[in-house]
């Protein structure tokens, strides 16, 4: 299925998704409240069959925090990128997708550890790299480290 048909199929499921420019993959910004429902359908719908989450990343855009999901259908050989964003920098959270793609479990833990983004219904959301008593989230743009000062 080409990107035009993929976009049409996804817009049937989530009509308010918005396409973003990306030269390599079809990239859609999805309302956070509809992420989990869309993810289930992307995996279980026969003509979509997105069975492989190969990357999940947190991003700090300054005013917004986001999570980006790179998906692949190994059966149909098509790819898609989903993005969800929030303006809430104090308590950012999205629904987990680790119940859909098991590989998301560790990616979500890393995103929590580095950006402070929580994932609702995650089975083991705790720091994965940093000590439990670490203060702050090192990959946020507003993070300040008084000990190891690195400024650009």
Domains and CATH numbers, the chain: 3-120 (3.30.460.80)
Give me the helix-helix angle, 35-44 and 3-13, nearest 10°.
Answer: 130
- Report the predicted TM-score, pTM, of the whole model to 2 decimal places: 0.93
* CB atoms closer than 10 angstroms to residue 135: 10
pLDDT reading at 127 higher than 90: yes
What 8-state DSSP symbol labels residue 38? H
pLDDT reading at 117 higher than 70: yes
Query: Residues 59-76: pLDDT tens digits?
Result: 999 999 999 999 999 999
C-beta of residue 69 within 8 angstroms of C-beta of residue 56: yes
């Amino acid at each position: 299925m080409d990107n035009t048909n993929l976009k049409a199929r996804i817009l049937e499921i989530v009509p308010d998704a918005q396409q973003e420019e990306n030269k390599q993959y079809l990239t859609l910004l999805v309302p956070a409240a509809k992420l989990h429902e869309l993810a289930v359908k992307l995996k279980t719908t026969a003509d979509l069959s997105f069975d492989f989450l190969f990357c999940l990343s947190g991003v700090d855009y300054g005013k917004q925090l986001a999570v980006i999901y790179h998906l692949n259908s190994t059966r149909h050989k098509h790819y898609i990128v989903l993005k969800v964003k929030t303006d809430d920098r104090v308590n950012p959270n999205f629904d987990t997708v680790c119940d859909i793609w098991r590989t998301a479990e560790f990616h979500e833990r890393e995103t929590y550890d580095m950006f402070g983004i929580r994932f609702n219904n995650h089975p083991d959301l705790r720091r994965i790299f940093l000590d439990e008593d670490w203060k702050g989230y090192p990959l946020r743009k507003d993070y300040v480290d008084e000990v190891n000062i690195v400024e650009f």
